[in-house]
Amino acid sequence: MADNNSTPKPSNFIRDIIIRDLESGKHDTVITRFPPEPNGFLHIGHAKSICLNFGLAQEFNGRCHLRFDDTNPTKEAKEYVDAIMEDVSWLGYQWGEHLYYASDYFEKFYEYAVQLIEKGKAFVCDLTPEEIREYRGTLTEPGKESPYRERSVQENLDLFRRMRAGEFREGERVLRAKIDMSSGNLNMRDPVIYRIMHVPHHRTGDKWCIYPMYDFAHCLSDAIEGITHSICTLEFEDHRPLYDWFLDQLKTPCHPQQIEFARLNLSYTVLSKRKLIQLVDQGVVDGWDDPRMPTISGIRRRGFPPSAIREFCHRIGVAKKDSVVDVALLEHCVRDELNRTAPRRLAVLNPLKVVIENYPEEQEEELDAVNNPEDPSYGTRKIPFCREIFIERTDFMENPPKKFYRMAVGQEVRLRYAYIVTCTDLIKDPETGEVVELRCKYDPETRGGNTPDGRRVRGTIHWVSARHGFNAEVRLYDRLFKDPNPGKGGQDFMDSINPDSLEIKKGCILEPSLMDAEPGSIWQFERQGYFCVDTRYSAPGRPVFNRSVQLRDSWAKIEKRLKQKG
């Protein structure tokens, strides 16, 4: 995978750690991992972690493992495994032969747990989950030791084997590490490392009825795979002492270094899995891949290219402190990429009919149109023109203000790639008074931008042939939330839903070349925005278009102001 963007890699504290480790000889290669739990769909925050872990491994000629943390069978499914693999691959990263599952190591995890018991560092506890929470204490008060903490090694080994054999009910017993109930770090107060769950696993079936907790499985998976730098988000910082404690107590192949960075927070967006589930379950959105969702499947269906996501993650960098990134920067990266790569087409979303009265009724001609002015290699195409066309309704005003350079009665305007026309009359619906048709005359000497007499026409508008264009559905997506920080101040984030986040427009008139546009293909509708052919609702000869982003770039203005201040 290679990016078109050749911007130098910015320095950050994780890169600095890796460089020091390589220079000192601590490591001779870099091995990272991306360890998602297959219990849901990945979102833009995960994309930051994917780009960081795979990107660092790529930069330092190492490797990145894709490992599924599948230790909780009540929430996991193969459907999520497949979706995650598709998302990582779509972003442009490949794991090759290094695809792993925590469930691959269940037997090894069990052996490590036995090691802890034999060292007197783990015990089987009969307290209920509620009692364990009560005994744990608070941030200001130490916890109390379990009455089962001093069981003998032999009794613990026997009980743990019987837990594995399925002799006990769920919640009846757990295996806990024996650390320090007075520790200032609550994670070190004899944490649970195994629980009983009589639930079949999507890979191991009914083989196991005890499953390791994340903190236990995570560090051991890293050590088994020889991970050098275990890069996590900031919420795992308080878990690092436990990560190190397990590896210090056990005879593992190596001791990886856990490093934490700030997770992505994005304005006008929620990234909490609980909140995303609520949006789906309450029907606010049309599933996990709704183009308004911040899931990778959602932004893919909306038409955000993977190169733009990588560039966005590159630009926001890596920090140790939480902050909120303006979603306008993400939109800017998408727009910047699509401006270079998206072919141009003509589309009228709110059609108003125009009849060019002095154009021969049966005549048709093909005009040359540029496919992408940013890249001459895209070439040109032919677009049909005839006596009747459609223009955008907002490009006409009956009583225009001064400096309105589009169509009005008695005013000249240029049709993109075609001719200069002058509106001579209008027709209204007798009942509503709405303008339903315009009458114009054209200057046949002005084809393709020619103006033999040198006159200046300030307005240029787009159009589509009424005879050749086709009707299509276009979906205008906007931000899902109307507030930059949904749910701020303890309010319900659902109160911030933008009621105008989706407008479905039927009867749009599109250039005929778009009729066979492939699902997933992305186009610029001139003067309208960037649009992607929907992968769910489109059918052969009946494409549905989703708006990816508008043409206006607010972030470019913000960035310019910041540079001026700086």
* End-to-end Cα, the chain, rounded Å: 34
Could you report the per-residue pLDDT of 365-374, keeping only the tens digit for each?
Answer: 999 999 999 9
Q: Over the Cα atoms of the chain, what is R_g?
A: 31
* Average confidence (pLDDT) over 31-56: 96
Structure token digits, residue 404? 């309105």
Could you report the per-residue pLDDT of 456-500, keeping only the tens digit for each?
Answer: 899 999 999 999 999 999 999 999 999 999 988 889 999 999 999
The answer to whether the beta carbons of residues 529 and 547 sit under 8 Å apart is yes
For all residues of the chain together, what is the average pLDDT?
A: 94
* Average confidence (pLDDT) over 515-521: 97
Closest to 112 (Cα-Cα) out of 25, 31, 223, 234: 223
* Average confidence (pLDDT) over 60-80: 96
Active site residue 23: no
Give pLDDT, residue 454. 82
Could you report the per-residue pLDDT of 358-406, keeping only the tens digit for each?
Answer: 999 999 999 999 999 999 999 999 999 999 999 999 999 999 999 899 9
User: Domain ranges in the chain?
Assistant: 24-261, 273-343+472-565, 347-461
Give the sign of the dihedral formed by CA 251, CA 253, CA 259, CA 264: negative
Q: Is 362 exposed, middle or buried (0-12, 13-18, 19+ CB in 10 A)?
A: exposed
* Average confidence (pLDDT) over 256-266: 96
Active site residue 263: yes
Which residue among the candidates 121, 149, 273, 441 is catalytic per the annotation?
273
Give the sign of the dihedral formed by CA 341, CA 342, CA 345, CA 348: negative
Task: Name the 3-class secondary structure at 80.
Answer: helix
In order, the DSSP letters of 171-211 are: TT-EEEE---TT-SSGGGSS-EEEEE----BTTTBTS-SEE
Residue 20: CB atoms within 10 Å: 11
pLDDT over 70 for what percent of the chain?
A: 96
**pLDDT surpassing 80 at residue 128:** yes
* Average confidence (pLDDT) over 218-237: 97
Report strand pairing: 351-356 vs 388-392.
antiparallel
- The pTM assigned to this predicted structure is 0.91
Q: How far is CA 503 from CA 82, 229, 388, 545, 565, in A?
A: 31, 46, 28, 12, 38
Could you report the per-residue pLDDT of 321-362, keeping only the tens digit for each?
Answer: 988 999 999 999 999 999 999 999 999 999 999 999 999 999
CATH placement of domain 273-343+472-565: 2.40.240.10
Which residue among the candidates 37, 86, 437, 473 is catalytic per the annotation?
37
Which residue among the candidates 15, 144, 263, 527 is catalytic per the annotation?
263
User: Could you name the CATH architecture of 347-461?
Assistant: Beta Barrel (2.40)
Fold that domain 24-261 belongs to in CATH: Rossmann fold (3.40.50)
Residue 452 or 45, more confident = 45
The answer to whether the beta carbons of residues 23 and 15 sit under 8 Å apart is no
Fold: same for 24-261 and 273-343+472-565: no
The answer to whether the beta carbons of residues 560 and 544 sit under 8 Å apart is no
Active site residue 37: yes
Could you report the per-residue pLDDT of 430-441, keeping only the tens digit for each?
Answer: 999 999 999 999
